[in-house]
């Protein structure tokens, strides 16, 4: 439990840094490049990311799970790594060449920016984060990502100066990724045998991993439909400005999503190893119960918190030219609790136990919901229609995953905590809207709302955590009490 808490804390702290990163750069980029140029970058990125995803297929989940299952066997770990990376490397060559041909034949507008996005595909070819997640060395990835983001921030402020610098911005973002992934290769030598690359150069061995990585790729490419495809559809049906508005709102929401996802990142390899051992399955189920309560607690406060500060936040960090992004954010926050619950079920139950079929079906259904709602609503409602399409996809995805897990996860025991968290969040939102804050500074107003809101939410939830008789809450209380007692005992020594 201590290591899990440490890994989650380090991942969460990194995700907080990822929150600060766009807060530092996006207000500047939004004003310097403007909504249209930012829309061009996002439009070309949305095309390139499709090709990039085909590079790794489902290696992020499959590689993570496979490395975790082999444990500490260095020879087996090396063999599995080189075989999975072999699939990724060959895909990288094919996808890079295919993308360049696609741009040459089909992209006539903004071709220069589209060509520069090829470096995004190259960076995906070098990405081996899945390996370090599998061996639970999260700090290596966190340190590398942090250094890359600092490098990117400095370069953005130094070199992006006017509306015509969108190509410089593209180069900076993609070059930073490539440099970061190259650094992780230097650290890899401590965890695998490099000479095993020659033992694994059999195409038969490499392609034995193609089918399972492709199966786990289906949900990834399907999920991209309600992210990248939404951006492309919005650009085609409306205009590039709306793409910029939608992207601005969704970027704000990506911040709390990243914090929630940090738990899944930490738990996936742990749960994959736990489910391999019959003796540790009870512990795995306890982890799962605690995780569901924890992400529900977080996602609901994020939902009502963002609703409380959306106006001030968008205007402060993006400017008056992004008023439409307020509506985008207010609609998108609806899906946060569904995303949180779905994330726990897939990363801590479905994927670790190789229940890939229900995982794939859930994301396919979410993608279908996204396409249908977007096609119906984007034309009459614009960015609001795109937002509702994204909400529909996440809700459908989560509901199916809940349905798939219904026989083995007793979801009824979570109804009490969910109702309490929702009531606490609603109370917090209501009070923040009636408490008069006659302050002209938007930044100070946001900070005060966050502090007051946190006090209200934590006070209500804290009372519940102390006195609740819910079995999962008791489990959390016992774990916290045990950890506190151990710390006090250590201090006494």
pLDDT confidence band for 217 (50 / 70 / 90): confident
Which pLDDT does position 469 carry in this prediction?
Answer: 66
Whole-number Å distance between alpha carbons of 355 and 349:
8
pLDDT confidence band for 481 (50 / 70 / 90): low
Cα–Cα–Cα angle for 326, 329, 333, nearest 5°? 145
Task: Name, in order, each residue with C-beta under 8 angstroms of 194's C-beta and a sequence gap of 6 or more.
Answer: none
Question: What is the maximum alpha-carbon separation in the chain?
Answer: 72
Whole-number Å distance between alpha carbons of 443 and 425:
22
pLDDT confidence band for 197 (50 / 70 / 90): low
Which pLDDT does position 489 carry in this prediction?
Answer: 46
Q: Can you tell me the mean pLDDT for 358-373?
A: 87
For 80, 86, 235, the CA distances from 106, given in Å and listed in that order, are 38, 30, 16
Token couple for 42: 């996002």
Check: CB of residue 129 under 8 Å from CB of residue 184.
yes
Check: CB of residue 403 under 8 Å from CB of residue 359.
no
Token couple for 407: 């026989």
Q: Tell which residue, 32, 28, 41, 21, has the closest CA to residue 244.
A: 41
Q: Can you tell me the mean pLDDT for 364-373?
A: 87
Q: Can you tell me the mean pLDDT for 349-360?
A: 82
Q: Can you tell me the mean pLDDT for 198-225?
A: 72
Whole-number Å distance between alpha carbons of 358 and 354:
10
Comparing 7 with 357, which gets the higher pLDDT?
357
For 19, 35, 103, 161, 304, the CA distances from 322, given in Å and listed in that order, are 19, 8, 30, 20, 21
Percent of the chain beyond pLDDT 70? 85
SS percent in the chain: helix, strand, coil, step 5: 85, 0, 15
For 146, 252, 442, 446, the CA distances from 319, given in Å and listed in that order, are 27, 14, 12, 15
Token couple for 353: 């136990």
Task: Give the position of tokens 């025991």.
Answer: 413
When the pLDDT of each residue in the chain is averaged and rounded to a whole number, the result is: 81
Highest mean pLDDT among 70-84, 113-127, 404-418 belongs to: 113-127
pTM above 0.85, yes or no: no
Supply the DSSP symbol for 137: -
Q: Is 406 helix (H, G, I), strand (E, B) or coil?
A: coil
Q: What is the C-alpha R_g of the chain? A: 23
Task: Name, in order, each residue with C-beta under 8 angstroms of 165's C-beta and a sequence gap of 6 or more.
Answer: 32, 33, 159
Token couple for 132: 């370090």
pLDDT for residue 488 is more than 60: no
Token couple for 179: 């440099």
**Would you call 171 exposed, middle or buried from its count of C-beta atoms within 10 A (0-12, 13-18, 19+)?**
middle
Q: Tens of pLDDT along 50-82? A: 898 888 888 887 888 888 877 777 778 888 888
Q: Can you tell me the mean pLDDT for 469-485?
A: 60
Token couple for 122: 């190259």
pLDDT for residue 137 is more than 70: yes
Q: Can you tell me the mean pLDDT for 169-192?
A: 85
């Amino acid at each position: 439990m201590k290591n899990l808490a440490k890994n989650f804390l380090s991942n969460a702290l990194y995700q907080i840094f990822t929150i600060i990163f766009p807060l530092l750069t996006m207000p500047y980029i939004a004003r310097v490049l403007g909504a249209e140029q930012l829309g061009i970058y996002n439009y070309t990125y949305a095309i390139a990311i499709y090709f990039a995803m085909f590079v790794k297929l489902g290696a992020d989940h499959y590689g993570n799970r496979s490395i975790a299952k082999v444990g500490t066997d260095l020879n087996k770990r090396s063999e599995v790594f080189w075989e999975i990376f072999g699939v990724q490397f060959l895909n990288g060559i094919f996808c890079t060449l295919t993308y360049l041909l696609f741009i040459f034949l089909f992209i006539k507008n903004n071709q220069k920016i589209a060509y520069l996005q090829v470096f995004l595909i190259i960076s995906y070819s070098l990405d081996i984060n899945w390996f370090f997640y599998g061996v639970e060395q999260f700090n290596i990835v966190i340190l590398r990502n942090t250094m890359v983001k600092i490098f990117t921030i400095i370069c953005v402020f130094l070199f992006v100066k006017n509306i015509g610098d969108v190509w410089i911005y593209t180069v900076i973002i993609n070059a930073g990724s490539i440099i970061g992934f190259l650094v992780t290769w230097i650290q890899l030598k401590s965890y695998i045998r490099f000479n095993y690359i020659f033992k694994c150069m059999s195409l038969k061995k490499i392609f034995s991993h193609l089918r399972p990585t492709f199966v786990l790729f289906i949900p990834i490419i399907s999920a991209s439909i309600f992210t990248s495809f939404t951006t492309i559809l919005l650009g085609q049906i409306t205009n590039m400005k709306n793409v910029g508005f939608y992207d601005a709102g969704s970027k704000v929401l990506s911040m709390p999503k990243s914090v929630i996802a940090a738990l899944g990142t930490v738990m996936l390899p742990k749960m994959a190893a736990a489910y391999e051992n019959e003796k540790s399955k009870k512990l795995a189920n306890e982890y799962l119960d605690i995780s569901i309560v924890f992400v529900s607690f977080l996602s609901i406060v994020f939902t009502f918190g963002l609703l409380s500060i959306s106006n001030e936040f968008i205007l402060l960090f993006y400017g008056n030219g992004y008023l439409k992004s307020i509506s985008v954010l207010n609609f998108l926050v609806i899906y946060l609790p569904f995303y949180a619950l779905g994330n726990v079920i897939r990363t801590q139950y479905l994927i670790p136990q190789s229940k890939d079929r229900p995982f794939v079906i859930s994301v396919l259904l979410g993608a279908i919901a996204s396409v249908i709602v977007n096609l119906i609503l984007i034309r009459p409602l614009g960015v609001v229609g795109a937002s509702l399409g994204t909400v529909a996809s996440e809700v459908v995805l989560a509901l199916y995953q809940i349905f798939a897990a219904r026989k083995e996860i007793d979801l009824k025991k979570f109804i009490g905590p969910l109702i309490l968290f929702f009531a606490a969040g609603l109370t917090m939102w209501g009070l923040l809207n009636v408490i008069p804050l006659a302050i002209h500074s938007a930044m100070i107003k946001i900070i005060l709302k966050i502090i007051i809101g946190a006090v209200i939410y934590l006070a209500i939830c804290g009372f519940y955590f102390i006195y609740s008789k819910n079995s999962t809450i008791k489990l959390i209380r016992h774990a916290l009490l045990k950890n506190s007692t151990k710390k006090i005992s250590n201090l006494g020594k």
